[in-house]
């Protein structure tokens, strides 16, 4: 009452109400705390993981937790660690589109940074969203044209989309840039090419690629 703007007191009240099981008042006060941009975002990340990640709270108060989570990200829109936490929350609770959107937002903010690009691409791979994966690989390669991991993911996406000719060309181009010493990478490419030629109705070429793989 002395200072309604004193946010740490809001947090203290929220914890008191959470302990006593009064979740209507808990969400009201923790919302005021989470919406204060002056409060440390890393503390909020830990709180989301430890408290709001509690399955009992999630199952009983899903809508309130969702509102709170969205409020936090609106308060700190450029915090990438927070976006990963929020994205994972939505993925784990079955909201795939909203979860992947947060990963994509990080790529938008840091398009030349390899790590967020790969995080997003591997997520699309895991979710088997092949059209989105192929399209994002094109975008990522505009900033990171020589990265072999991204080029391989693009070839995998085209394979899954039955675009065998494109995938073959991409694996062959990738092989040219893999040093001889990187045998595991070369083995992967030869094996993939063998499979692709076989699927494409070119068994003689397939056997040649398998032979190269067997030599390794």
* Contacts with 184 (C-beta within 8 Å, 6 or more apart), sequence order: none
Q: Would you place residue 54 in the very low, low, confident or very high pLDDT band (cuts 50, 70, 90)?
A: confident
What pTM does this model have? Answer: 0.89
Report angle CA 13, 14, 20 to the nearest 5 degrees: 90
3-state secondary structure 143-179: HCCCCHHHHHHHHHHHHHCCCHHHHHHHHHHHHHCCC
Burial label, 110 (beta-carbon count in 10 A; 0-12, 13-18, 19+): middle
Residues in the chain: 216
Q: For residue 153, which of 191, 181, 120 has the smallest C-alpha distance?
A: 120
What's the whole-number mean pLDDT along residues 115-141? 98
Model pLDDT for residues 172-214, shown as the tens digit of each residue? 999 999 999 999 999 999 999 999 999 999 999 999 999 999 9
């Amino acid at each position: 009452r002395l200072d309604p703007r004193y946010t740490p007191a809001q947090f203290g009240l929220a914890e008191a109400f959470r302990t006593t099981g009064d979740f209507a008042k808990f969400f009201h006060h923790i919302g005021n705390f989470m919406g204060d941009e002056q409060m440390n975002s890393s503390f909020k990340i830990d709180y989301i993981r430890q408290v709001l990640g509690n399955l009992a709270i999630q199952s009983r108060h899903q809508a309130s937790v969702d509102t709170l989570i969205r409020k936090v990200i609106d308060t700190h829109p450029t915090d990438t660690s927070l976006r990963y936490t929020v994205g994972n929350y939505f993925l784990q609770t079955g909201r795939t589109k909203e979860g992947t959107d947060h990963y994509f937002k990080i790529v938008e903010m840091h398009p030349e940074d390899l790590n967020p690009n790969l995080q997003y691409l591997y997520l699309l791979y895991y979710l088997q969203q092949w059209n989105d994966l192929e399209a994002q690989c094109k975008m990522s390669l505009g900033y990171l044209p020589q990265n072999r991991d991204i080029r391989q993911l693009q070839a995998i996406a085209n394979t899954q989309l039955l675009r065998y000719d494109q995938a073959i060309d991409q694996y062959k181009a990738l092989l040219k840039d893999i040093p001889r010493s990187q045998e595991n990478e070369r083995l992967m490419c030869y094996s993939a090419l063998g499979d692709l030629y076989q699927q494409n109705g070119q068994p003689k070429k397939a056997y040649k690629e398998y032979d190269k793989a067997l030599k390794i």
